[in-house]
Structure 1
Amino acid sequence: MIRWIAALMLALFTWAPAHAADFKWMDESGTTYSLDTLKGQPLLIHFWASWCPSCRAEMPAFAAWVEKHPEVKTLSISLDQSAAHATAFLKETNINIPLLLSDENQARNLGAQALPTTLIIAADGSISQLHRGPRDWSSEAFSDQLLKSLLPEVESMHLHTQR
């Protein structure tokens, strides 16, 4: 019994999402995609929902960051249960990003236990960064931290000098 409890405690304390290949999402037309198909390239995943006040406040700055960095592969995934709610929010705020949807269970499996959550997926499919809660997308320090993980070092330094 003590071994079982010790093993359970060890599992609880050491659990951290390590690999994201099983994660799936769909686009507006209902086509399903998997992260396994994107393995080999770094990727930023941003979870949000239209009913989340912090997400609503953060999304314009996030969208501006994405627009400023088109070289970064980004998935902005809504956890809304209704595509109509997510679409309405994007339209009312003039945010021009593709509508991608997933469910809360899949997002939690990647470590998204709060919204918004931003993940950096390394080229090997492992989660290299996990940021829960809203972020200051206009911060150069935060941007540089993300870009160092998402782009080759030379390209990241070049982008920094262009600001």
Structure 2
Amino acid sequence: MEKFFKKHWSNILFGVLVVLMIIPQTRMPIQVFVQRLISFSPSETSEEKRETLQDYNWSLVSLNSEEINFSQSQGKVVVVNFWATWCPPCVAEMPSFQKLYDAYGSNVDFYFVTSEKPDKVNRFLEKHNYSLPVFLQFFEAPEQMQSSVLPTTYVLSKSGEIVVNETGVADWNSKKIRSLLDRLIAE
């Protein structure tokens, strides 16, 4: 039996991993772990490829049912993240977003936008001790911020330029992003 395990240990390990990926309770944590390992600092969009947000008129609803309009952020530095609790890359980047929000929440407007049910989102936030400003999307985002990929994150300058347009998992608490936000706030 010992010879069998020595000879086939890699196949056994692979089989266990496959089984763990099939079970929903273990699949998500494994996917989140792997996503965090491969996350990197997002890149700034080159100036010649940047779009400028034309229309800030976008109604959102906070988790406590307060209706707000995105236009309240016109003229400010803004971070908008489209995410879902069932999305492993979204979940993987949330700790870095929480750190960034803790550091910049008073100088940058953050919007974490989802289409999920409020009770599910609240349970997720409570479970992970997140205090991120989450909003429910009932209406389409402005044209320049429409994406069918989760997660998608935009960083906007005070003039409405989309300085970062990032899809997929990223490390949002990187020195590069902090430096970018500092520069945008100072403008």
Runs of 4+ more than 3 Å apart: none
- Between the aligned partners of 2:52 and 2:163, the Cα distance in structure 1 is 10
**Contact 1:48-1:117 at 8 Å conserved across structures:** yes
Amino acid at match of 1:65: L
* Separation (CA, whole Å) in 1 of partners of 2:149 and 2:107: 23
Select the residue among 116, 140, 156 that pairs with 2:175: 140
Fraction of identical pairs, as percent: 22
Match of 2:84 among 32, 49, 52: 49
Q: CA offsets per residue over residues 131-158 of structure 1, 9 Å max, x none?
A: 2222112321232233322x105xxxxx
- Unaligned regions of 5+ residues in structure 2, if any? 1-48
- Asked if the contact 1:47/1:107 (under 8 Å) is kept, the reply is no
Change (3 A) 1:86 1:107: farther
When residues 135 and 86 of structure 1 are mapped into structure 2, their CA distance, relative to the original with a 3 A threshold, is: same
Q: Name the aligned partner's letter for residue 154 of structure 2.
A: L
Computing the radius of gyration from Cα coordinates, the structure with the larger value is 2
Moved more, 32-41 or 104-113: 104-113
Q: Where in structure 2 are the equivalents of 1:14-33 lying within 5 Å?
A: 18-33=53-68
Cα distance, 1:74 vs. partner?
2.8
Q: CA RMSD in A?
A: 2.6
Offset at residue 28 of structure 1 (A): 2.0
Please name the residue that 1:72 is paired with.
107
Aligned length: 138
Offset at residue 108 of structure 1 (A)? 6.9
Distance 2:86 2:124 in 1: 9
Which consecutive residues of structure 1, in runs of 5 or more, have no partner in the other structure?
1-13, 154-163
The TM-score normalised by the length of structure 2 is 0.62
Pair 1:19–1:145, CA change in 2 (3 A): same
Instruction: Tell me: CA distance 1:124–1:108, structure 2 relative to 1, closer, same or farther (3 Å).
Output: closer
Output aligned runs, 1:84-99, within 5 Å. Answer: 84-99=119-134
Query: SS state of the match for residue 106, structure 1?
Result: coil
